[in-house]
Structure 1
Amino acid sequence: MKRVLPALVLICVTALTATACSDPTAGDGGSGGADSGSGARVDPTARLDGVKLTMWTAQNTVNAPRQVIDAFEKATGATVDTQAIPDLYEQNVPTKLASGDKPDLMFWQPSISTLPFVQPRQNLLTLDKEPWVDKLGDTEKSLGVIDGKRYAAIVTSPAMLGVYYNKDVFRKAGITEDRFPRSYAELLKLGHTVKDRTDAAAFYESGGDKWPLQWQMQVQLTDLDRQWWDGLNTNRRKWTDPVVVKAVTTYKDQLLGAGLAQKNYRTGTFTGSADALWNGDAGMVLNVTSFQTQLQAKHSTAEIDRRIGWFPVSNSDATGLYSPDQTNGVVAFRTGDEKRQNAARQFLAFWLDTDYADYIKAMRIPSVQPAVDSPDGLPETSLAQLKALPTANGVFQAKAVVAPDTHLYLADMIYGKKTPLQVAQAIQDQFAQVAKAQAVPGF
């Protein structure tokens, strides 16, 4: 989940039109019969012979829609051509859009911090009245909406942030489920138990890849209420708030400084974290669902269930966090071709209605629709995350109008280049820069 916002700022300032940059959702809300604001009913399996749709994906998700595309093409006679956009996806997509290139459909992160970069009101179909909207779970319903209008279909559940643990290490440390932490302070205490009673590191931290460094800070910010985030988003609060500085300081002093991470935490990698947890070299890894994807690529469900567990934790309770990513949302573009726009809406209806149960079974992922059961054979870790999702807190990418590159500044800290206060100031400086470029009120 890498962030490339400095590049996006440059794109917004230099590549996109002045009108678009001054208002990320500028444009006419109407698009005739192709806009779901008309309430037109969609038949998911209506014939579309000769219709060709283009769908942009990231390089690592080019095969994600394959099952539903095959089924849709067979049912309707349409053709859906997937085009992988080179990494970094979040940087290159706005560049292509600025050049005038535009797909019919696209994977895109459905968060308030990232969705605006494709100028939804100007570029995307609104999807408020689609029949699948009411089928989504409550958390999924909250995604893909900007200024009260829905611009993204939610096809997968947001990633869940929580603690993956090695069951053998916990057994050696005498840690049972009744001792699982109900706060971040208790999580650190649990880390000391692992460190003192086993030869494993309490946590594995990935300073080499940098992006996972954000999670220890994120967990500590879950007590901030909606008013705090509203204040941040209107320039009345700052990332230099003492509560943020304290979170960074706690990570630096009470986790890293206390020896709770593996010795090579400055150079540790994301793939290395999965191997270390699996082998029992580390007791815990705090990360999102992509960590589990690594495990499922190498090991069977039975093997994972025997060796790895998962539990949620926030700053002051045992609540998990959800984190939107680009695999969760699919948007449909205003192309000016009403036939293709209606076909794009039909594709989304087919995905989230006719084919949905088959799609999640093929992908081995949890259901975003409470009325549709998740497929059999999911690891217990996946089921635990699904159970925790309805009450989960959103990470700051889901709450802040801009998601700054906190991991880069935390990396500077662990390399000795920044203090916690300097980390917070760097986060604030970038946040304000991007918000100003987007003409967010108050900046």
Structure 2
Amino acid sequence: MKKALIGAAALVAAASLALSGCSDPGSGGGSSAPADWPAQDTSLEGVDLTIWAAQNSNTVPESVVSGFEKLTGAKIDVVTIPDPYEQGIQTKVATGDKPDLAFWQPTGSQLTALNASTNLQSLEGAPWVDSFDPALKDITGILDGTRYAALVSTPAVEGVYYNKKVLADAGVTTLPTDWDSFLQTARDLKGKGVTPFYEMGGDRWATQWWVQVQLADAAKDGLWDRVNAGEEKFTDPTILGAIESYQGLIDEGLFNSDIKTATFEDQGDALLNGDAAMVVQVNSFFSQLQAKSSTEELNDSIGFFPIAPSGNIGTFIPDQSNALVAFKTGDATREAAARQLLSYWLGDGYQDFVDAQATVSLQSSVTTPDTVPTALTDVSASLGDSVGSMQALAIANPDLYIYLADMIQGTKTPEQVAQATQDQFAELAKAQGASGF
């Protein structure tokens, strides 16, 4: 997940890529639908395809690659692009180096970063689209009315992971239903000697979740549309107020005493061991817990609920490991083969994929394996009513998390965090040619 968070540096490259319109001379611009979607079992003897993946997604396609090669005779090479993944991909694409497919964060800003209409195949008319759960069918992967990304796993959700035993031992029998009850629960826990919240200020990247979940209601009301148009700023009361609230909760002593130095690893251990009651995090946090515990242990000890000011509303943030894009390479045979691979991945190969990954199925006709912990099925269930994060809805993703970490270290005030974020956002938006900046 943290690969999807380091957005500002990537978007500097993205702006130049989008403005230059770099593309393979053999492929034209525009977003017309592909001519056809080949049958999943069409012979591809002699066809080689390349998939670019990050270090945290390079094993994801293993079952799909194996099944597709056996079915079609194609040869597929999964190439790991070193971190920082997004910057590496954009640099390569800007010089005309393209794979057939790549894992990619399927948000508007990141599709813009690849100059989608010029560099990516349209996935309009894909045979797998109607098999999606209706709540997930159009949640992401679309830019300017055209589908460019194929979602293969459920997007991450910002919400609250909690230790069931810690809450039960403290007499908490009802989960919070809105922000006020969430904070009251935390204060009750503190009064009983329990650390309510655990934050990883040392590793920084998750700090922004505390601000973003507070903005869920505003996001539903068009906050990011207004920010994108320059009509509202990070320094205005809504976002600044969320930053100030976060600082206030830290000052109140509701977080771990080692917040300045605590790491992602520390955070997982603290929740599992019961050293803290709750963590505001995303799906990659739970992946860490899965590496440390069995499904049975996690079902017994860890739960999840979404949170927002007005209720149990999640904030979704697609990760690059959730989706793939297909590139215009100028080779019609390979482009068709890439579409065929996506059809297989989300068609006959999908049950094997969700089984191998122990992940929640996007399709009602494909069964979620019982190896998926309950907390993750609860995360998936929250997507239908969720709202997009800054990463999903803003045209640029400034380094809010870095500035918030500076605030935790005591080197920035909330006002300075908001101003630094706004200044960077405006710079990135202007570089993209956005109006209002």
TM-score range, shorter chain: over 0.9
Which shifted more, 137-146 or 84-93?
A: 137-146
Mapped to 2, the partners of 1:437 and 1:27 lie a distance apart of 24
Mapped to 2, the partners of 1:144 and 1:425 lie a distance apart of 30
Question: What is the aligned counterpart of 2:97 among 101, 119, 129?
Answer: 101
In structure 2, the partner of 1:220 is 214
Mapped to 2, the partners of 1:214 and 1:228 lie a distance apart of 16
| 1:17-59 Cα distance to aligned partner (Å, 9 max, x none) | 75338xxxx96226xxxx6443x24201111011000010001
Question: What is the aligned counterpart of 1:363 among 357, 360, 367?
Answer: 357
- Unaligned ranges ≥5, structure 2: none
Check the 8 A contact 1:48/1:76 in 2, yes or no.
yes
In structure 2, the partner of 1:136 is 132
Alpha-carbon spacing, 1:310–1:228, altered in 2? closer, same or farther (3 Å): closer
Alignment of 1:10-409 (within 5 A): 10-12=12-14, 16=17, 18-20=19-21, 28-29=29-30, 36-38=33-35, 40-137=36-133, 138-176=135-173, 179-198=174-193, 200-224=194-218, 225-253=220-248, 255-409=249-403
- Unaligned ranges ≥5, structure 1: none
Mapped to 2, the partners of 1:43 and 1:66 lie a distance apart of 21
Alpha-carbon spacing, 1:249–1:18, altered in 2? closer, same or farther (3 Å): closer
| 1:270-322 Cα distance to aligned partner (Å, 9 max, x none) | 11111001111111111001111111112111111111111121121112221
| 1:92-114 Cα distance to aligned partner (Å, 9 max, x none) | 11011122211000000001121
| 1:156-207 Cα distance to aligned partner (Å, 9 max, x none) | 110122111111211121001xx21122222111111121114x31111000
1:217, distance to aligned residue in structure 2 (A): 0.5
SS of 2:417's equivalent? helix
Check the 8 A contact 1:169/1:194 in 2, yes or no.
no
Mapped to 1, the partners of 2:21 and 2:255 lie a distance apart of 45
| 1:83-129 Cα distance to aligned partner (Å, 9 max, x none) | 10010111111011122211000000001121211111110000010
User: Aligned AA for 1:370?
Assistant: S
1:140, distance to aligned residue in structure 2 (A): 4.3
SS of 2:335's equivalent? helix
User: Aligned AA for 1:442?
Assistant: G
Mapped to 1, the partners of 2:397 and 2:358 lie a distance apart of 29
Alpha-carbon spacing, 1:174–1:162, altered in 2? closer, same or farther (3 Å): same
SS of 2:59's equivalent? coil
Check the 8 A contact 1:214/1:407 in 2, yes or no.
yes
Check the 8 A contact 1:184/1:219 in 2, yes or no.
no
How many residue pairs end up in the alignment? 429
1:429 equivalent in alignment to 2:423: yes
Report the RMSD for the aligned CA atoms in angstroms: 1.7
Check the 8 A contact 1:140/1:158 in 2, yes or no.
no
1:414 equivalent in alignment to 2:408: yes
User: Aligned AA for 1:118?
Assistant: L
User: Aligned AA for 1:8?
Assistant: A
TM-score, normalization by structure 2: 0.94
Check the 8 A contact 1:27/1:121 in 2, yes or no.
no
Mapped to 2, the partners of 1:8 and 1:295 lie a distance apart of 29
